[in-house]
Structures are given as C-alpha cells and as structure tokens.
Structure 1
C-alpha cells in the first residue's frame, strides 16, 4: 500500500472535505477522489460518507484515523534509520594488483579514521568490477580509465603507471631498464581472459606491429599468473603496482617496464550514492592514499593524473 494514500486520507479526514483537501494537497478533486477510492478498495471498507457539508468518517474511517498516524510516524522513523545506516555503508571495488601498495593501507586508514563506516571491499579484474558497477553493487571503483563513464557513474582519472613484463628470476629483467614490446613476440603468456583491458591492450599492440600474441593460459588471478611466471611456466604482464616494492615477489621474479605501454586508472563513483557521507569520505581517502604512495616513490613509474587535484585533497 502506498503511504501517500494514507496521507491523503488523513488530510480529507482533518478538513472534512475532499474539495478543501484537494486544494491543500494541490491535486484536482477527481484525482483525490480516485486516490480515496483506491484506498477503500485496498482496505475493503468504506471510509467516508458524503453529505451536504463535505464528508463524514465511517466507523472504519475512524479506526483508520486512530491507528494510521502512529504507523506513519514509525514508517518515517524507519526510513530515516535505514537512510542513516545506508549513509554509513561503503562498497569499494579495487583491482587485485593494487592490494600491496594501496588496498591494505586504505582499509587501515578508513578503520582508524571512520570506525562507524561499514566497509565492503570487492576485489576483481577490470571486467568483473565493471559488471559489479553495472549491477549497482559498488559505491566507488578503481578501474582502467575510459572516456565514457559506465551508466550511473562518473569517473575521474587517478594515476598512470607502466605495464611490466614479469618472468622467472633468471630472465635478466630489471625494473630500471625497460624492454621493447617486441620482447613479447610469441612469448608464452598467462593473462586474463577477454574482455580484460590489459589483455586487449597487449594483444592489439602486438597485432599492430605484426608481432605474435600467445596467451598460453587465461588466468583471472594476479597471484596465480605471477606464480606461473616465478616457476618459469609462462610470463605475464601486469600493472607495475603489483610488483613494485612488493616483498612477496621482490626476490622470486624479475620484471621490467614495457616501453611505451601504460595504464591509466580512474576512480568511478556511483551517482546514486554521491550524497552519502561515507562515499564522500571514501572518495577523499582514496585520492589521499594514492597520492601518498605515488609521492613516496614506492610506486615505480607512477604519475598522478592531476597534481593540482591531489594537492587540494
């Protein structure tokens, strides 16, 4: 039942006239009469008796008037409480490659500063996060930048970083020395399946140069593709943040930036949740943590998209 029908009923009961109530509610008299008829139909009871002076409540109408006001107050309180709780919830999508440099730091700072925010972290490769965004499951998401924002979201570029080739320890790759794209020609790779952005970028770039693309394994898990590289079963291409300064891989793999190959990350925000204080605080903290990590020099080759914007955070 629409609570507005109860509101309309109470106004008619208070004024004793459908015409007066219609003027007060800024409705036409026929429209208000139809609303009252709908309410009577749903309740299966006559609520008013018409007389020369206006309308008079029936016994059923008197009962509804007595019981309706406290129920509407409870409903109003419930809506307010649910809204407050929703305002304290934050659902964030992050790529798995960001875990070491960003995600753990972000979660730690959020818990410390905003203990009342209920945080939910979704970790997934780019196309999975986009599916979650299209389903409205995420308030904020860090995904590869695209000129057209996903439906219901606005996006702002955050940071650009190199794509790197990762191989076994003895492959003689060095972080300080980039390798040409030709190094990947017919190389046995472990990359995510389509429509992953990094996979598409590598495949298309090789094709444009007439080089061979050999995706030996489709792996939508960064740690697994890195482990395959560590064991020498395949190589992989990943954003630099997955390996830069990461002690998990520092002594067990070798890696180099791929010359001219970069990825720009964007922060997407669900416009339906932009009013939420939790979303606002989450957005500010994400930009702050990203800026801190980049400026520390830990994130090799990373450039903030807008120094002016970060300085204002």
Structure 2
C-alpha cells in the first residue's frame, strides 16, 4: 500500500463516488479507478461494491478505512505544517459541531477563518455527539464540540462550560408569560424529543425518573430542525438551549421559559483524538473557536457559563 492509493481510497469512501473524488483530487477517473484496483489486488479483497448510487464500502473497505483514515489525515497535516513553516498557515481542518452549537457558531467561525486564515480549509460537520465521537476515535475528524460529561470519553477533552436547558413551546403556549416553570409541570406535558440514543433524551429521562414521572412522548425526531418544526406545529413541548432557538423566539414562532432550580444543564466539551499531534491550522482554529464562543456570550447570543 502506498500513500497515494490510501488517499484515493479515503476520498472515494468519503464521497461515495469516483467522479466526485476525481473533481476533489483533480485526478482523472481512470487513474483513480486503477489505484483502487491495485489496492484491492494487493489486499486480495474488494473494498467497494459499485451500484447505481455510487461506491459503497464492503466490510473489508470499512475495516481499512477505520485503520487508515487517521494515518492519512496525520500525514496530510505534517505536509501542511511543513509548507506553513515558511509562510501563511494552510491545511484542512475537520470540525464537528452538535446541531444546537452549529446554529449559533458555524457561520461566525467560518467567516473569521476566511478573513483571518484564507489558506486554511475549514470543513464543518454537523451531527450528534455519538457520531462525532466515533469519527474522532477513527481519526477522521480533528476537533469536535460535543456535550459531556467529559470523563471516560477516551479522547483529549477541554471543558468549555455549561449550557442551560429551557422549556420550548409553540406560539400561544403561554411560556413567554410564565417566564419560569417547574420541571415537574413540563415533564407531565406532551413532549417532542430525540430518540433514546440521544444525550438530551437521557438527561430528560433522568429528570423524569427523579420525579417518578412517565414521559408522554408524542413524536421523536433526531433532527434538530425537525424537532423545532414539530414544536412550532403544536405537537408538544421540548427542552433545548435558549441560544439554539433565539431566532425562532424573536420571530414569534416559538416561546421559551426558564426552568426553576435545579435547572437541567449540559457540559460543553471540546474534544480531539488521543495522541493526536495536531497541526498549526488546528491550533489556530481552536483559538478562533474559543474567541467566537466568548464573543457570542459577550453579545448575549449564547448564555453559556464559561469554564
């Protein structure tokens, strides 16, 4: 196996298409196809199945990707650091954000990156904590802002602070007039929540168990945008950080109310792979990320208790 073959394999696996990989790597499709075939011949295994939807990893392909994606990323970062040592910083940084953070931070961070470091290519991936942690463990992602707790994650972690959770209801629900509600009252209402695999659901289930209440979950949604739209339609209440629904509240589409103490909150964590040497570009993006979080707090856009 050589690095060119592994980089080609990784790119095709990520994009699911030879044509897209050809555009990204700026290499003709026949050359890419030949590299994949040489790799398959050396490993004596098919790495992809080819169908009408593109290139799909086989079990052997998934194994190879899991073992080599981090290696390819680290070699690319070494190249970027060497090239950056005598000039402006460059390189690619893959940053994962949970949806409730992404809606506040993504555009601001992207704009700052373009303005401050035009040589750095920032790839923002939005997903839930479980998926982001899996990609961090495989070395396919450089950084991620996830919800904790930060212990026992088998990642390098830094606490960013705690994010409060508020009650969220549709227009006319009366939450805006109440301003503060008891969590026992909220948990007795019809709810719209993520599925059981989601960290927020576990937090709410724990709160209900402490109150010895059974939740009335009318609809489940593992998409943040779907979740808020279901609440807008009046299908139930939910619980979210206030920053994530700030625009909907300002537009009068949703209402929120504080939850009386002890109010639920979540630890916000910046995570990266263990033993990851990092790169100059990653260090700079980490600094920009922290700066933007502090700026959002100072401007009243994000009510996080900073660590």
Q: Is the TM value for this pair above 0.5?
A: yes
| Structure 1 residues 176 and 189: CA distance shift in structure 2, 3 A | closer
Cα 1:176–1:99 shift into 2, 3 Å: farther
Residue 104 (structure 2) pairs with residue 101 (structure 1): yes
Work out which of the residue numbers 283, 287, 299 in structure 1 matches 2:286: 283
Aligned partner (choices 279, 303, 306) of residue 304 of structure 1: 306
Instruction: Judge conservation of contact 1:100–1:242 (CA < 8 Å) in 2.
Output: yes
**Residues 269-310 of structure 1, C-alpha deviations (whole Å, 9 max, x = no match):** 2244443011101111111100111122222x42111xxxxx
**Which of these two proteins has the greater Rg computed from alpha carbons?**
1
TM-aligned CA distance change 1:80 to 1:233, over 3 Å: closer
Match of 2:252 in 1: 251
Asked if 2 retains the 8 angstrom alpha-carbon contact of 1:93 and 1:138, the reply is yes
User: Compared with structure 1, are the counterparts of its residues 80 and 154 closer, same or farther at alpha carbon in structure 2 (3 Å cutoff)?
Assistant: closer
> Unmatched 5+ residue regions in structure 2?
3-73, 82-89
CA RMSD of aligned residues (A): 2.5
Q: How does 1:1-313 map to 2 (within 5 A)?
A: 83-85=78-80, 88-151=91-154, 153-174=155-176, 177-244=179-246, 246-247=247-248, 250-259=251-260, 260-299=263-302, 301-305=303-307
**SS class of match (2:165):** strand
Normalised by the size of structure 1, how large is the TM-score?
0.66
Local SS of the residue matching 2:172: helix
Q: Provide the rounded CA distance (Å) in 2 between the counterparts of 1:178 and 1:123.
A: 31
Answer yes or no: is the 8 Å Cα contact 2:94–2:125 preserved in 1.
Answer: yes
Q: Which residue of 2 aligns with 1:42?
A: none
Q: Given that residues 193 and 220 in structure 2 are in contact (C-alpha distance below 8 angstroms), is that contact kept between their aligned partners in structure 1? A: yes
> Is the partner of 2:119 in helix, strand or coil?
coil
User: What's the secondary structure of 2:180's corresponding residue?
Assistant: coil
- Check the 8 A contact 1:175/1:257 in 2, yes or no: no
Q: Which residue of 1 aligns with 2:5?
A: none
Shift of 1:247: 5.0
In the alignment, structure 1 segments of 5+ residues that lack a partner are 3-78, 306-313
Task: Classify 1:224/1:82 alpha carbon distance in 2 versus 1 (closer, same or farther; 3 Å).
Answer: closer
Distance 1:133 1:257, change over 3 A: farther
TM-score (norm 2): 0.67
1:121 CA displacement: 0.9
Deviates more, 1:215-224 or 1:282-291: 215-224
Change over 3 Å in CA distance of 1:149–1:135 after alignment to 2? same
Q: Would the aligned equivalents of 1:273 and 1:279 in 2 still touch at CA under 8 Å?
A: no
Q: What secondary structure does 2:149 align onto?
A: coil
Q: Aligned in 2, Cα 1:219/1:164: closer, same or farther, shift over 3 Å?
A: same
Which digits, 9 at most, give the CA deviation of each residue in 1:166-191, with x for residues without a partner?
11110111298221111223322222
Q: Is the contact made by 1:134 and 1:150 (CA closer than 8 Å) also made in structure 2?
A: no
**Distance in 2 (alpha carbons) for counterparts of 1:121 and 1:133:** 13
Question: Which deviates the most, 132-141 or 82-91?
Answer: 82-91
